[in-house]
Chain A
Amino acid sequence: MAAASKDLKIREFPVEENPTEHYLNAGKGLKSWLFTVDHKRIGLMYLASIILFFFVGGMLALALRIELWEPARTFMDADTYNRVFTLHGAIMVFLFIIPSIPAALGNFFLPMMLGAKDVAFPRLNLLSFWIYSIGALFTLYSIAYGGVDTGWTFYTPYSTSTGTAVISMTLGVFIMGFSSILTGINFIVTIHKMRAPGQTWGKLPLFLWSLYATSIIQVLATPNLAITFLLLILESTLGVGIFDPALGGDPVLYQHFFWFYSHPAVYIMIVPAFGIISEVISTFSKKTIFGYWLIALSSLAIAFIGFLVWGHHMFVSGQSELSTVIFSFLTFFVGIPTGIKILNWIATMYKGSIDLKTPMIYALMFLFLFSIGGFTGIMLGALSVNVHLHDTYYVVAHFHYVMMGGTVFAFLAGIHYWWPKMTGKMYNELWAKIASVILFIGFNVTFLPQFVMGSQGMPRRYYSYIEQFQTLHQTSTVGSWILGVGFIIVGIYLAISLFSKNNRASSNPWGARALEWMTTSPPAHHNFNHTPVVLHNPYDFHKPISEFRLGIDGSDGHHSSEDVSTPKEVGDKV
Chain B
Amino acid sequence: MLETINRYILPQVSSTFAADVDALFTFINVTSVIILLGITVAIFYFSIKYRRKSEDDVTPVIRFNTMLEVTWITIPLILVLIVFAWGFRGYIDMRTPPGNAYEVYVTANSFFWQFTYPNGVQTTDELYVPAGRPVKLIMQSRDVIHSFFVPDFRIKQDVLPGRYTTLWFETLTSGEHVIFCTEYCGTGHSAMDGMVYALEPDEFNAWLNEQKELSERELPLAELGRNLYTSQGCAGCHSLDGSVVIGPTFQGLYGAERQFTDGTSRVADEEYLRESIKYPGRVINVGFNNIMPSYEGQLSDDQITAIIEFIKELE
Contact = CB atoms under 8 A, between A and B. Distances in A.
A392 interface: yes
Interface string A278-318: 00000001111011111000000000000000000000111
Interface in B122-166: 143-145, 147, 149, 151-152, 154-158, 160-163, 165
Contacts of B160: 245, 251-252, 318
Contacts of B35: 371, 375
Contacts of A149: 186-187
A288 B63 contact: yes
Contacts of B149: 391, 457, 459
Interface in B30-67: 32, 35-36, 39-40, 42-43, 46-47, 50-53, 55, 57-65
Size category of the binding interface on chain A: 35 or more
B175 interface: no
Contact of B24 (A325, A353, A384, A462): A384
Nearest to A77: B187
A216 B189 CA distance: 38
A329 B35 CA distance: 22
Name the residue among B10, B87, B94 with the largest chain A CB count within 10 angstroms.
B87
B20 interface: yes
Given A151-B184, A328-B84, A336-B73, A353 B63 contact: no
Interface in A482-525: 511
Given A318-B163, A384-B94, A455-B9, A82 B187 contact: yes
A541 to B, nearest CB: 6
B183 interface: yes
B152 to A, nearest CB: 8
A538 B96 CA distance: 56
Nearest to B8: A452
A457 B28 contact: no
A486 B127 CA distance: 47
Given A158-B144, A162-B186, A294 B69 contact: yes
Contacts of A461: 184, 189-190
Nearest to B144: A158
Interface string B85-123: 011111111110000000000000000000000000000
A322 to B, nearest CB: 10
Interface in B175-218: 178, 180-191, 193
Contacts of B188: 78
Contact of B143 (A161, A292, A379): A161
A379 B28 contact: yes
B21 A464 contact: no
Contact of B57 (A151, A161, A339, A353): A353
A542 B59 contact: yes
A240 interface: no
A332 interface: yes
A82 B62 CA distance: 52
Nearest to B83: A382
B290 interface: yes
A257 interface: no
B289 interface: yes
A387 to B, nearest CB: 5
A190 to B, nearest CB: 27
Interface in A233-258: 245-246, 251-252
Given A328-B84, A371-B39, A382 B190 contact: no
A386 B87 contact: yes
A560 interface: no
Nearest to A164: B289
B63 A457 contact: no
A35 interface: no
A286 B57 contact: yes
Contact of A332 (B53, B69, B81, B91): B81
A354 to B, nearest CB: 5
Given A375-B35, A456-B151, A356 B51 contact: yes
Name the residue among A382, A460, A462 with the largest chain B CB count within 10 angstroms.
A382
Contact of B50 (A343, A350, A375, A376): A350
A157 interface: yes
A364 B43 contact: yes
A286 B21 contact: no
B47 A356 contact: yes
Contacts of B88: 325, 328-329, 383-384
A15 B105 CA distance: 76
B219 interface: no
Name the residue among B62, B94, B152, B163 with the largest chain A CB count within 10 angstroms.
B62
Contacts of A392: 182
B47 A246 contact: no
A43 to B, nearest CB: 30
Contacts of B182: 390-392, 459-460
Interface string B269-284: 0000000000000000
Contacts of A150: 184
A83 to B, nearest CB: 11
Nearest to B93: A384
A382 B26 CA distance: 12
Contact of B158 (A316, A367, A540): A316
A519 B68 CA distance: 37
Contacts of A343: 72
A335 B32 CA distance: 13
Nearest to A337: B73
A162 B110 CA distance: 12
Contacts of B186: 82, 149, 158, 162
Contact of A349 (B46, B143, B185): B46
A544 B74 CA distance: 37
B184 A155 contact: yes
A354 B42 contact: no
Contacts of B69: 291, 294, 340, 344
A150 B186 CA distance: 7
B299 interface: no
Contacts of A48: none
A350 B158 CA distance: 48
Contacts of A290: 62-65
A378 interface: yes
Contacts of A318: 157-158, 160, 163, 165
A511 B188 CA distance: 57
B7 to A, nearest CB: 11
B74 to A, nearest CB: 10
A566 B62 CA distance: 25
A383 B181 CA distance: 20
B77 interface: yes
A367 B290 CA distance: 48
B59 A285 contact: yes
A446 to B, nearest CB: 17
A379 B9 CA distance: 15
Given A161-B143, A346-B46, A378-B28, A335 B154 contact: no
21 contacts: A78-B190, A79-B289, A246-B161, A251-B160, A291-B63, A318-B160, A339-B72, A343-B72, A350-B62, A351-B59, A353-B50, A355-B51, A378-B80, A378-B83, A379-B25, A381-B84, A382-B24, A385-B90, A390-B156, A390-B182, A391-B147
Given A245-B162, A351-B50, 9 more contacts: A149-B187, A150-B184, A356-B51, A375-B36, A378-B28, A392-B182, A452-B9, A459-B180, A461-B190
Interface of A: 78-79, 82, 149-151, 155, 157-158, 161-163, 245-246, 251-252, 285-288, 290-294, 316-318, 321, 324-325, 328-329, 332-333, 335-336, 339-340, 342-344, 346-347, 349-356, 364, 367-368, 371-372, 375-376, 378-379, 381-388, 390-392, 451-452, 455-457, 459-466, 511, 540-542
Leading 10 A-B pairs by shortest Cβ distance: A457-B151, A384-B90, A245-B162, A382-B87, A353-B57, A383-B91, A375-B32, A462-B190, A383-B87, A332-B80
